[in-house]
Structure 1
Amino acid sequence: MVFGSVASVPAQQQLGVSTSASGGTTGGTATSIAPTDHCVTSAGNDGISSARWSPSANILVSTNWDGGVRCWEVQESQQQVRALPKAQVNHENNSPVLDACFSPDGNTVFTVGADKAVRMWQLGQTPPNNIPQQIGAHDQPIKSVGFLESTNLIVSGGWDNLLRFWDARQPNPVGTLALPERCYDLDVQDGLMVVATAGRTILSYNVQGQPVEHERKDSPLKFQSRCIAAFPDATGYAVGSIEGRVGIHYITKVHGKESFAFKCHRIENNVYPVNCIAFHRGYGTFATVGGDGIVNFWDKDNKQRLKGFPAIQRTISCASFNATGNLFAYSSSYDWSMGCSQYAPGTPNELWIHYVLDDEIKPKGKKTSYGR
């Protein structure tokens, strides 16, 4: 089969195949990608913008367009999963919350959103008026947030074309970097930070100490960037776009590996946005989720699709693996890719947890891990 072609093939297949390996199509009746997946209770009343796992425990936090930041303790035993609601806080005036990240110890959650504020929530504590403490601000809504472990700083990317860096103990930013356009997404992995902006620009930074721009380039994809994620070994990144394609780009030269792009989240002549890319830290494989309601697991090193799940009846807006990689959270929520006209008031916004089997996500080629 020609790499990048569109065909119906078994579940283990080359990157670039755009049909669901399990035969799912949009418009189906399924609400989860597998019948045993656990539906998280109290997932909110509006779109789910992010789902983040604690790096130290099976604690899951989501952010929503209804202004809520919700937290669950997830229990798992013999492949059975249960999520227990633990707490909820809200941004001021219930402004949409667009992203979240954890501190390395898993005790603190940082959130950003349409209220232009960077906020901090110490898990286990109830903040005054149930509104997390504000530790920073932008002049426009803030799209993404990350934590720089080497310097203990929080980084926020806003629609004011700025990256701002925060020490939670100070009210003013400890640093600011100009972006060429609005921040659409950012990700941090060890000493690498990658940022995707409007205008298809992608920037990478060395953030081991004071952030230094390493590379600025046009996206390898022809249309608007939707999401970006750094490789677990920090040698590069994957970027997804609105036209159902993912670009794999190496910043650090890796022997035998070259940058490339492939098609995904396409059904016949219909093209859907790639809404989120989530890497598995253990194997370096990754998931993409999209506007077609499909979850795919991929192996970039061997250029294979490892698993294609049946489509669910709604778009999938976000997803992530837990620290050990055996749990995968994904949303069933409108992604706004078709605008207000396609929004159906009252449609449920659901958050699901899938128990990940090793043969679903483990590479099937020679390379089995990053050796970390």
Structure 2
Amino acid sequence: MAGLFGAAGSSSTGNTIGDLKNDVAVSNPPEDTISDLTFSPTADILAVSSWDKKVRIYQIAGNGASEGKHIYEHDAPVLSVDFSKDGNKLVSAGADKQAKVCDLQTLQTAQVAAHDNTVKAARFFELPNSNGPMLVTGSWDKTIKYWDLRSQTPVGTVTCQERVYSMDVRNSLLVVGTADRYINVINLQEPLKFYKTLQSPLKWQTRVVSCFTDASGFAIGSIEGRCAIQYVEDKDSSSNFSFKCHRDPPSGNVTQVYSVNDISFHPQHGTFSTAGSDGTFHFWDKDAKHRLKGYPTVGGSITATTFNSSGTIFAYAIGYDWSKGYMANNPNYPNKVMLHPIQGDECKPRPSVKKR
């Protein structure tokens, strides 16, 4: 089923081309490449982590205007940020081998987790009958650890096959993508064992895993301009598929392919975005197996994306992603966070065609 949607850019006709003219830049962006973006579930508050070792928190107004509300530092590049479900806490983690939690009420920050190597991802989750938010961290030390915020020691550790590259949580679903293309699926009701382990259906290194809005499955993005859709429970052979994206149209017998750097699911519609090294983002409907919109290049690689809780704003970060090595980096490379207002039916699923 590869190539189902067609290579992005190759079949753009009619209204499948989206518009960037209303996109607004966030004021006072980080000074180095942005690694992660997350919106609060309860307000239009955007947290941004960066290679400049800082976490920035912005208030976003209805007209797209942004105001910096708080900033705090790590001892090394910060690679991951996530809000708790109630919007009161923000976790950040990175190359200083730790995770910190910032209390949004008091703006106090405390270290809450530690690993033996870089912490690549940190996510809040809540279990039934638990006394509050729990934390899971995934590291290049090949472990994921669970943390109760009231304790300095992990409440559980799971060893993975390889370094953790990407991790996402939705409800009781935890998906962990590691080096060597392993994908581990964990049911957080039984957090210390793998519910399922698979090799990525994509042939090259996993860049991102992202859970469906309804937690029935997840998407995988890789460095070779491909995305895979995987259901936790295999319904039938056609439900799992992969498709090409973030590729230039073939020139002669050469096709330029780009890394899929991030995948974000729309909170209401369950449609999703892909964004890549080619500086484009696209909205897709996995159920109709259809591309909804593709957008022109934004002038630099897109390193991270997220939707706000109402699905009315799509935030994306532009910055150098090292896909072309250090020689391609230069001081004039753009470094910014953009806010794209979701217009009309940009992210709405296609009307389904019922089979008789």
TM-score normalised by length of structure 2: 0.91
Partner of 2:73: 90
Judged with a 3 Å threshold, the aligned counterparts in structure 2 of structure 1 residues 342 and 320 are, in CA distance, closer, same or farther, namely same
Paired position in structure 1 for 2:142? 161
Map 1:212-227 to 2 at 5 A. Answer: 212-227=193-208
- Work out the CA distance in 2 between the residues paired with 1:273 and 1:186: 17
Count of residues paired in the alignment: 341
Q: In the alignment, what sits opposite 2:166?
A: 185
> Displacement of 1:347 after TM fit?
2.6
* Offset of residue 165 of structure 1: 0.7
The aligned amino acid for 2:320 is: Y
- SS of residue paired to 1:199: helix
What is the one-letter code of the residue matched to 2:5?
L
> How far apart in 1 are the matches of 2:150 and 2:317?
33
Contact 1:21–1:309 under 8 Å retained in 2: no
- Match 2:151 to one of 170, 173, 194: 170
1:283 maps onto 2:269 in alignment:
yes
1:191-340 → structure 2 map (5 Å cutoff)? 191-208=172-189, 210-254=191-235, 258-268=239-249, 269-340=255-326
Range 285-294 or range 205-214, more displaced: 205-214
1:218-263 alpha-carbon deviations (Å, 9 max, x no partner): 0000000000001111111100000000011111244796100000
Task: Give 3-state SS (helix, strand or coil) of 1:341's partner.
Answer: helix
Q: Is the 8 A contact 1:33 1:311 kept in 2?
A: no
Q: Deviations over 1:110-160 (max 9, x none)?
A: 010000011010114344xxxx31111000001011112114310000000
2:116 aligns with 139
Q: CA deviation at 1:20?
A: 6.4
Q: Secondary structure at the match of 1:136?
A: strand
- The one of 99, 110, 125 equivalent to 1:118 is 99
Alpha-carbon shift at residue 60 of structure 1 (Å): 0.4
- Whether the aligned pair in 2 keeps the contact of 1:4 and 1:17 (CA below 8 Å) is no
Amino acid at match of 1:49: S
- C-alpha change, 1:34 and 1:215, in structure 2 (3 Å) is same
Report the equivalent of 1:41. 27
The Cα offsets for residues 12-33 of structure 1, whole Å up to 9 and x where unpaired, read as: xx6233216669xxxxxxxx96
Whichever residue aligns with residue 223 of structure 2, its letter is I
RMSD: 1.9
State the one-letter code of the partner of 1:140: N
Between the two proteins, what is the percent identity of the paired residues?
39
8 Å contact kept, 1:45–1:348: no
Cα distance in 2, alignment partners of residues 212 and 358 from structure 1: 43
Counterpart contact for 2:7–2:248, Cα < 8 Å: no
Residue 7 of structure 2 corresponds to residue 17 of structure 1:
yes
**How far apart in 1 are the matches of 2:161 and 2:188?**
19
- 2: CA distance between counterparts of 1:311 and 1:348? 13
- Quote the offset at 1:178 in angstroms: 0.1
- Deviation digits for residues 56-106 of structure 1, max 9, x if unmatched? 111100000001100111111xxx3211111111113xx100001111100
Q: Structure 1, residues 317-349: CA drift from partner, whole Å, max 9, x if none? A: 000111111110001111111221211134331
**Is the 2:304–2:317 contact (alpha carbons within 8 Å) kept by the matching residues of 1?**
yes
**Which residue is 1:65 aligned to?**
51
Contact 2:299 2:334 in 1 (8 A): no
RCO higher in 1 or 2 (8 Å CA, sep ≥ 6)? 1
CA contact 2:40–2:87 (8 Å) conserved in 1: yes
Contact 1:22 1:310 in 2 (8 A): no
In 1, the alpha carbon distance for the partners of 2:152 and 2:69 equals 29
TM-score, with normalisation over the residues of structure 1? 0.88
**Conserved? CA contact 1:33–1:312, under 8 Å:** no
Kindly indicate whether the alpha-carbon contact (under 8 Å) linking 1:21 and 1:308 is maintained by their aligned counterparts in 2.
Answer: no
In structure 1, the gaps of 5 or more residues are 6-13, 24-31, 368-372
CA contact (8 A) 1:20 1:294 kept: no
What corresponds to 1:9 in structure 2? none
Aligned to 2:59, the other structure's residue is in SS state: strand
- Helix, strand or coil for the counterpart of 1:307? strand
1:313 and 1:231 mapped to 2: Cα distance?
A: 29
Compare 117-126 and 181-190 and name the one that shifted more.
Answer: 117-126
How far apart, CA to CA, are the structure 2 residues paired with 1:168 and 1:249? 32
Residue 293 of structure 2: SS of its match in structure 1? strand
CA deviation profile, 1:289-327 (whole Å, cap 9, x unmatched): 000000100000000000001112100000011111111
Residue 202 of structure 2 aligns to a residue whose secondary structure is: coil
